[in-house]
Structure 1
Amino acid sequence: MKKSIAFLIAACGIALAGCSTNTNKTESSSSSSSSSVSRSSSVKPDPNASERTWTYKNNIFDAGNETYRFTKWDVMDSVDEGKKVLVLYCDVTNNSTKEMDPSNVYMVVHAYQKNATSDVQLDPGMVKPDENGNDPLQQYEDGLHNNLLPGKTVKAVMLFTINNDRPVRLEFENPNFETIGTKTYKVSKKLSKADRKKLNQSNSSSSSTTQTNTVSQTKTAAQQSEQTTAQSTQQETQTNTAKSQGEINRERGYDPNGAPLLPGQDHAAGSNPDGSPDAWVQGQIDWAKQNGYLNSDGTETDKGRAADQEVEQNEQSW
């Protein structure tokens, strides 16, 4: 599924790249406090929104069908003890005439943070529940994960688990997987001295433990994975026939295609709970077929394979 999604975004990106010369322009900025960006009202749905050039400038990520206006940020306690989460608040507008899934932004927006030896890509995070056991960001997370109606704007949030108190770099990509903008968040400004010390110690401890156990865990997992997966799938199919696919996905932690679920959701990025493409990805599939990148049975055409090769060559040159 991931490979299919990557190809579709790449194919769409090649067409978009020909519409404007500013697709590859990179906009960078740095922030140590909340930025003030006013929330926009609903817009008139545009049937040609997908043809717009993707840009990032002044805290606004215009991704064609959807626009993300980042309004403020914070650092909160993670659901994982000793960890912290970078919280990015945004207003999401659906510019198109079809329902959109705002959570697909995780495919083209990535966060990175350096440790002592590497520049590490950060994982999506989950914040610690409040004293009543509720998610303090529930309404914002719902805004990101619920389908957004045409022309509507909703408040949402992106979450990344940070590993230490060093700056976090956010990278925004276009459909060609090229970075078109960056934003740096100085997370240390949001942390107390005690929090910084605890966070760095936690990361150091977990890294040491991971290095010690990696070899034995990998070997054991390789020997048991196929047998365990087959047995668990058969057992769950027999015992969970009354459960919805979404409930089964939550118990497993992945969808029927083996793709990991989005935080707090019952589906993977770009997919429905049953593993089929969501509306956005299906739209890209239809586009690829209409423009000669895919055959009617979903296999790649010569044009599609040429697009794949072009993307691979670009990645090697980066």
Structure 2
Amino acid sequence: MKALLCAAALAVFLAPARAAYLDSNQAVSAETQTNGGGCYPIAKHPQLTDQLVLINPEWAAIEVGPHTPPDADPITLHGTVTLAKINEGGDFSGNHLTDDQNTFLDVDPADMEFVATGNVGPQGEEDGQLEFELEIGSYPLFAWAGTGDRMTTVGRWIWDCGHGNPDPEGTCSSTASQACVLDSDCAPPACAGCIAGETCVGTVFNYHSELHPPQAVAVSRPGAGHAFSRRRKGGRLATRTDVWITPGGGGAGDRCVVTHHANPLDLVSTTECFPLSQPLANVNASNFEFDIPLPPRPAGSPGLRRIKVIDQTPRRL
């Protein structure tokens, strides 16, 4: 009995610790909003033009490092695909060329630091998932992933600023019965009974972290067959890996579209981003490295594993 207890305790002690989720409230912190970074939420009862704030910008880099927003270094993410789909409701045409293709990843434990609390909160995805989005006009079908595929992708690590999803909402600092999202909710006319100087405390934002857009993706499809020659009728056990690299990330990858404006009305009065001409991704700045999970060697097979490269680059590229 003692031996069993010791073994169980040792297993628990040696289990790898999961990285803590990134706090989604960081998306609206004063530090993050320096130089126009981060997200800008709207009040509990917004005015009509306040909706422009949600796309000013709609996607903000999470970690800009030594750069000034919207510039940021890309990250590399690894995971297993749980769902791939097109956004059936469509995307806002004001900052998209085409609708997005959405791929949901069950992120590898080593990369869990890229997953935010909003991804797993009451308004989030399943525990541990992170969404990868790329406009379908920039993403050829051969490189789309399917459920169970392995993916390595490089791209912009961003907050989805259009969906702050405050839950729970906060309360005004003195008038605790008054629900709020921002300090402006704790002053007239939003709160006639509030006293001067009240602030909103306790709001929990649920901004999702995403990789949006990617600039490189490698999709491995293990456990299937592939015919290396037309002379061979049956396929051989193989892992097919499709690779797609592009600087064309659509609106979410364009400097003009994701630059914050001090006056949101500039988005409809003085700013013209189309045709897109300021891609943020520099696909030639670094190598794209990824692993390919090879299938097990068939019993009794002394031969070497074969690797075949097929160029499927679309025409005119």
The verdict on a shared fold, with TM-score over 0.5 as the criterion, is no
Is the helix fraction higher in 1 or 2?
1
TM-score (norm 2): 0.22
Q: TM-score, normalised by structure 1?
A: 0.22
Greater CA radius of gyration, 1 or 2?
2
